[in-house]
């Protein structure tokens, strides 16, 4: 399997300039040299026989079967070991790893938030942490991960990288502006390779500092700085696995005889921010998984809803981004979206240059009616929800099924139910545990969710963090000092 850039030279591929690369080569890289994102040259296909065999696999077996198609330059025994070490009962609460909960006939939740930080990003990052350690050890290299977080994504990265050889994490968070749960989750990590930098400023200030430091090529190179951002292809490939899992569980004949009358198709509803989760669903469909609709749910930050409804893609500028009660979906632009655009323009790099030219000049682009038809054929449907919708959805799911969902999951359930078809099982992806967003839950049902046992002990651990001004030079000094 080789990987090309979404902005690669026009076909035929200019091998001299931008050779397709192997999985191990792109693993530790961010963007391709031309500013594009890496995608597989072609999607590996899963035959009907293979699909039947996969249905009986355990989660780690399934993860190996799928990931070995993408990471074919990692020796099979090594890959299997890393997968087996990642997807354990200890890490994810049960051997199921991704639980499918039936709410009623043909309506399911796919619970992806039993990992160490109680959010779906653990599904990929727990694997990535181990894979990075493996790849760095092999190359005898080190990596210093620099990131900014408003609270949620940072903790997944820290829990994935804690204690790993050759890796340090420097995570900026806005001092006093993360929720108490999130702060305790990050700052109580006692591992020496984790550095929490509490910044006197906002989340935007933190992001600006990371950008500024990344702009200093010399500093970046000298200190081996990198990222674990959501555009990493390995993250997407890892997320493909749970779509297969969710599909099998929702179509097990014992659970859902109706599925048989529908050539076995299933629809997924996905709360979407950077388009990473739902992109994995699309990739699963392209590999041959019978997915009917990919129902994309946004909150008030509805860049992608607008795109799928009108064909116009207009990323928001800073102050247009709303701070909502599903904060992990508060995005200005969807960083993985370019991968999908590349496909529906027929992987035509001239057309990509045209669209991205418009984006740079006018701040938006509009696709043709043929291209819009292709997005419909791919199964995408979109909708959005408001704060009031989230509260109402949390309340109604709780009253009807006695299940408490978090505000992000509620975005997905709200839009998913609007597009539900009786004969097609609907699987709504559950992306975080409600305890992470206790204030919103209180607003919805009048009380806060119980804190899970393993997090109660956070209360007694000391917090480890460094306070810095919102100043790139000060952060640089801290990073340089910590590495020596």
Ligand X SMILES: *Cc1c(COP(=O)(O)O)cnc(C)c1O
* Minimum gap (Å) between residue 129 Cβ and ligand X: 17
| Nearest residue (CB) to ligand X, 251 versus 277 | 277
**Is position 328 an interface residue for ligand X (rule: CB under 6 A)?**
yes
Least Å distance, CB 473 to ligand X, is 30
Q: How far is the CB of 34 from ligand X (least distance, A)?
A: 24
Q: Is 329 in the site for ligand X (CB under 6 A)?
A: yes
Order of strands across the sheet that contains 143-148: 225-226, 143-148, 167-174, 194-200, 466-469
Q: Is the CB of 264 or the CB of 273 nearer to ligand X?
A: 273
The pairing of beta strand 38-40 with beta strand 3-5: antiparallel
271 contributes a contact to ligand X by CB under 6 A: yes
Q: Given the complex with ligand X, which of 305 and 351 has the nearer CB atom?
A: 305
User: In the bound complex, which residue of the shown chain has the CB atom lying closest to ligand X?
Assistant: 276
Nearest to 430 by CA among 172, 200, 149, 118: 118
User: At its nearest, how many Å lie between ligand X and the CB of residue 357?
Assistant: 26
| 390 lines the binding site for ligand X (CB under 6 A) | no
Catalytic residue at 95?
Answer: no
Which distant-in-sequence residues (6+ apart) come within 8 Å of 296 by Cβ? 270, 272, 278, 304, 305, 308, 380, 381, 382, 383, 415
DSSP per-residue codes, 152-200: HHHHHHHHHHTT-TTEEEEEEEETT-S-HHHHHHHHT---TTEEEEEEE
Q: How far is the CB of 432 from ligand X (least distance, A)?
A: 4
- Asked if 408 touches ligand X (CB under 6 A), the answer is yes
Judged by CB under 6 A, the stretch of 90-98, 268-276, 377-385, 440-448 that binds ligand X is 268-276
What is the C-alpha to C-alpha distance for residues 304 and 43, in angstroms, rounded to an integer? 24
Q: Smallest distance from the beta carbon of 87 to ligand X, in angstroms?
A: 19
Whichever of 120 and 134 has its CB closer to ligand X, that residue is: 120
Q: What gap in Å lies between CA 84 and CA 68, rounded to an integer? A: 13
Site for ligand X in 431-460 (CB under 6 A): 431-432
Is-contact 212 472, C-beta < 8 A? Answer: yes
Cα gap 5→218, rounded to integer Å: 25
Are 199 and 468 contacting, i.e. CB atoms less than 8 angstroms apart?
Answer: yes
Tell me which of 19, 121, 220, 350 is the catalytic residue. Answer: 121
189 near ligand X, judged by CB under 6 A = no
Q: How far is the CB of 452 from ligand X (least distance, A)?
A: 16
Binding mask 131-160 for ligand X (x = CB under 6 A): ---------------------x--------
- Binding of ligand X at residue 119 (CB under 6 A)? yes
Q: Write down the H helix ranges in 199-260.
A: 203-215, 217-222, 233-251
Q: Are 37 and 231 in contact (CB under 8 A)?
A: yes
End-to-end CA distance of the chain: 38
Which one, 304 or 426, has the nearer CB to ligand X? 304
CA distance 430 to 122: 13
Instruction: Pull the structure tokens for residue 156.
Output: 């997944």
Please tell me whether residue 173 binds ligand X under the rule CB under 6 A.
no
DSSP conformation class of 43: P
List 144, 150, 251, 277, residue binding ligand X (CB under 6 A) = 277
**Judged by CB under 6 A, which stretch of 47-55, 260-268, 274-282, 440-448 contacts ligand X?**
274-282
Asked if 230 touches ligand X (CB under 6 A), the answer is yes
- 272 binds ligand X per the rule CB under 6 A: yes
Chain residues binding ligand X by CB under 6 A are 119-121, 152, 230, 271-277, 328-329, 408, 431-432
Q: What are the residue numbers of the active site?
A: 121
């Amino acid at each position: 399997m080789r990987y090309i850039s979404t902005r690669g030279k026009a076909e035929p591929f200019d091998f001299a300039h931008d050779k397709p690369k192997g999985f191990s080569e792109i693993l530790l890289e961010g963007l391709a040299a031309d500013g594009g994102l890496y995608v597989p040259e072609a999607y590996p296909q899963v035959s009907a026989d293979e699909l039947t065999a996969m249905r009986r696999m355990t989660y780690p077996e399934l993860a190996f079967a799928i990931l070995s198609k993408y990471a074919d330059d990692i020796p099979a025994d090594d890959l299997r070991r890393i997968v087996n070490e990642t997807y354990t009962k200890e890490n994810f609460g049960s051997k199921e790893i991704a639980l499918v909960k039936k709410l009623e006939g043909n309506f399911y939740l796919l619970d992806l938030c039993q990992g160490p930080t109680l959010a779906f990003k653990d599904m990929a990052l727990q694997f990535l942490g181990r894979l990075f350690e493996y790849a760095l050890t092999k190359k005898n290299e080190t990596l210093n991960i620099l990131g900014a977080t408003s609270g949620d994504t940072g903790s997944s990265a820290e829990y994935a990288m804690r204690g790993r050889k050759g890796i340090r994490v420097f995570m900026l968070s806005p001092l006093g502006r993360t929720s108490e749960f999130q702060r305790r989750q990050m700052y109580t990590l006692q591992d020496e390779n984790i550095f929490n930098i509490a910044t006197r400023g906002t989340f935007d200030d933190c992001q600006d500092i990371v950008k500024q430091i990344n702009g200093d090529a010399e500093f970046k190179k000298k200190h081996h700085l990198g990222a674990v951002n959501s555009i990493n292809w390995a993250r997407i490939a890892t997320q493909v696995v749970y779509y297969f899992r969710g599909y099998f569980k929702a179509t097990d004949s014992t659970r859902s005889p109706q599925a048989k009358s529908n050539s076995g198709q299933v629809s997924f509803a996905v709360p979407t921010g950077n388009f990473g989760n739902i992109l994995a669903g699309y990739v699963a469909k392209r590999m041959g998984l019978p997915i009917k609709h990919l129902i994309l749910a946004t909150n008030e930050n509805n860049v992608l809803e607008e795109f799928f409804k009108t064909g116009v893609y207009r990323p928001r500028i800073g102050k247009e981004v709303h701070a909502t009660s599903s904060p992990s979906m508060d995005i200005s632009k969807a960083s993985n979206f370019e991968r999908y655009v590349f496909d529906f323009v027929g992987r035509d790099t001239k057309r990509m240059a045209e669209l991205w030219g418009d984006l740079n000049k006018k701040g938006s682009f509009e696709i043709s009616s043929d291209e819009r038809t292709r997005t419909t054929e791919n199964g995408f449907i979109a909708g959005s929800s408001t704060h009031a919708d989230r509260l109402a959805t949390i309340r109604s799911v709780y009253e009807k099924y006695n299940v408490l969902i978090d505000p992000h999951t509620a975005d997905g359930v709200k839009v998913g139910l609007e597009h539900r078809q009786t004969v097609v099982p609907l699987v709504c992806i559950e992306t975080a545990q409600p305890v992470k967003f206790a204030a919103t839950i209180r607003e919805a049902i009048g009380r806060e969710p119980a804190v899970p046992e393993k997090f109660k002990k956070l209360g007694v651990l000391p917090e480890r963090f460094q306070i810095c001004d919102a100043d790139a030079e000060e952060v640089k000094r801290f990073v340089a000092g910590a590495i020596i």
